């Protein structure tokens, strides 16, 4: 089961000069995640961002998995997006993509293509999740993460300006306009100062290194979610367990 959290954001939604963005987040595979501006040639609205997030996230899941063997569960805080892709699309197909008022369906391009892409998966589900709950449950925390990703595209965090004489990290002469530092020196410093590195990025990088090491040894690390906890299983690349012989006594 692959879980995908999506969100859209828009500054000055519905007004002239609006700017929109979208983001998608895979909790079990954060390195697949992304956040982007809505292209300037497209409508800068919150609904467009919500649908773009699902569309882009589904594309990424197709790229990174064998869709025919994958179950995809999408979580969105947009009832509009959920209903577009589940409740309303059967009726639009019958009416040639016309609304009850006889107008063209807005965002047909995204809705139609996303619906087609979803058919490639073994199974898929789209669920609504409440936004901005402030809760510590798994759904609330992941929705908050993807919300911040989308907002950050529009309102980046303030950049800290440091002096060219200030070293960025203690114990390593790494500073603006300073001399280049050998990568081996940086790696050694990181190993000796794990507590100074971003824990989330460190966790992801270490697990990726572990996966690649196991893969090089001829095996595969399969990530799973059991009781809302991330776990890993060791499997062979061919799914054939070697070195075991069973003799049945007649």
Set out the domains of the chain in order of their start, with CATH numbers: 2-154 (3.30.420.10), 172-236 (no CATH)
Name the pTM for this structure. Answer: 0.64
The 3-state secondary structure of the chain, one letter per residue: CEEEEEEEEEECCCCCCCEEEEEEECCCCHHHCEEEECCCCCCCCHHHHHHHHHHHHHHHHHHHCCHHHCEEEEEECCHHHHHHHHHHHHHHHHCCCECCCCCECCCHHHHHHHHHHHCCCCEEEEEECCCCCCCCCHHHHHHHHHHHHHHHHHCCCCCCCCCCCCEEECCEEEECCCCCCCHHHHHHHHHHCHHHCCHHHHHHHHHHHHHHHHHHCCEEEEEEEECCEEEEEEEECCCCCCCCCCCCCC
pLDDT at 247: 44
pLDDT at 39: 97
pLDDT at 199: 87
pLDDT at 176: 66
Give per-10-residue mean pLDDT for the chain (250 aa). Answer: 97 93 96 96 97 98 96 98 97 95 96 98 97 92 95 77 64 77 89 88 87 86 80 74 46
């Amino acid at each position: 089961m692959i879980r995908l959290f999506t969100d859209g954001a828009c500054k000055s939604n519905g007004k002239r000069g609006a700017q929109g963005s979208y983001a998608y987040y895979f909790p079990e595979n954060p390195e697949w995640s992304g956040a982007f501006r809505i292209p300037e040639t497209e409508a800068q609205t919150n609904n467009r961002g919500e649908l773009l997030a699902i569309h882009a996230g589904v594309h990424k899941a197709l790229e990174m998995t064998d869709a025919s063997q994958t179950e995809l569960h999408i979580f969105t805080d947009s009832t509009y997006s959920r209903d577009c892709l589940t409740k309303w699309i059967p009726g639009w197909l019958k009416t040639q993509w016309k609304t009850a008022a006889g107008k063209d369906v807005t965002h047909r391009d995204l809705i139609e293509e996303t619906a087609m892409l979803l058919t490639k998966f073994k199974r898929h589900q789209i669920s609504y999740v409440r936004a901005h709950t402030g809760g510590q449950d798994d759904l609330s925390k992941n929705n908050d993460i993807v919300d911040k990703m989308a907002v950050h595209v529009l309102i980046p965090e303030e950049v800290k300006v440091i002096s060219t004489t200030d070293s960025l990290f203690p114990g390593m002469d790494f500073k603006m306009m300073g001399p280049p530092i050998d990568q081996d020196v940086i790696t050694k410093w990181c190993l000796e100062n794990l507590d100074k590195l971003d824990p989330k990025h460190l966790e992801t990088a270490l697990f990726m290194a572990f996966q690649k090491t196991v893969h090089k040894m001829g095996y595969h690390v399969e990530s799973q979610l059991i009781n809302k906890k991330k776990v890993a299983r060791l499997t062979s690349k061919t799914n054939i367990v070697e070195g075991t012989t069973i003799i049945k006594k007649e």
